Amino acid sequence: MTKITYDKAKITDIDDVMHIEETSFPADEVLSRASMLERIQVIPERFFVARNEEGRVVGILVGPTSDKCYLTDDMFEKTEASLPTDRFQIIVSLAVDSEYQGLGIATSLLDVMKEAAAEESRQGISLTCVENLIPYYERYGFVSKGISDSQLAGETWYNMVLPL
């Protein structure tokens, strides 16, 4: 069985991070390398990674905090520092290397973020997803709040919120 550990992303992880991002999403949904580097630098406390036994990043979960409940498209490219008064943890990317899917890594990454958000007294965790992923997030406890205003990649996105 593969031993997976969880910690924060480092600048040196960027190639692994981008490999996961680029192989997990359609090209027009992939977050840019520049935006991922900015996240590692601006919100390192909100950039969680899963590592295999060799230390390679095999899963990522990242997003800023916000006083707004719902993710907005500008959050995909520009990252603001987290504020103690922000009420919500936002997720802009959750992805696991295809070789490691089905092992519970995404759920464990969500657990890590949920614990961090709860420790900081956030009111909830928010993300957007496409329709076929709604059941996955509902199993975790997220509640669908309807269609998002997001226009990313011309998709129809749904607001999902996990109350804390």
The predicted model gives 24-36 an average pLDDT of: 91
Cα 133 to Cα 138: distance, rounded to the nearest angstrom: 9
Q: Give pLDDT, residue 122.
A: 98
Q: Give pLDDT, residue 49.
A: 99
In sequence order, what are the residues at sequence separation of 6 or more whose Cβ sits closer than 8 angstroms to the Cβ of residue 158? 128, 129, 130, 131, 134, 144, 145, 146, 147, 148
Position 138 confidence tier, pLDDT thresholds 50, 70, 90: very high
Q: What is the mean pLDDT of the chain?
A: 95
Report the alpha-carbon angle 82-125-16, nearest 5.
Answer: 70
The predicted model gives 12-39 an average pLDDT of: 94
CATH of the domain at 42: 3.40.630.30
> What are the Cα distances from residue 17, in Å, to 7, 90, 118?
13, 18, 25
For 58-116, what is each residue's pLDDT tens digit? 999 999 999 999 998 888 888 999 999 999 999 999 999 999 999 999 999 999 999 99
Helix (H, G, I), strand (E, B) or coil at 108: helix
Q: Give pLDDT, residue 117.
A: 98
Q: Residue 94 sits in which domain range?
A: 5-163
Q: Are 83 and 64 in contact (CB under 8 A)?
A: no
Q: Give pLDDT, residue 1.
A: 62
Tally of CB atoms within 10 A around 28:
9
Q: Give pLDDT, residue 76.
A: 82
User: How many domains does one find in the chain?
Assistant: 1
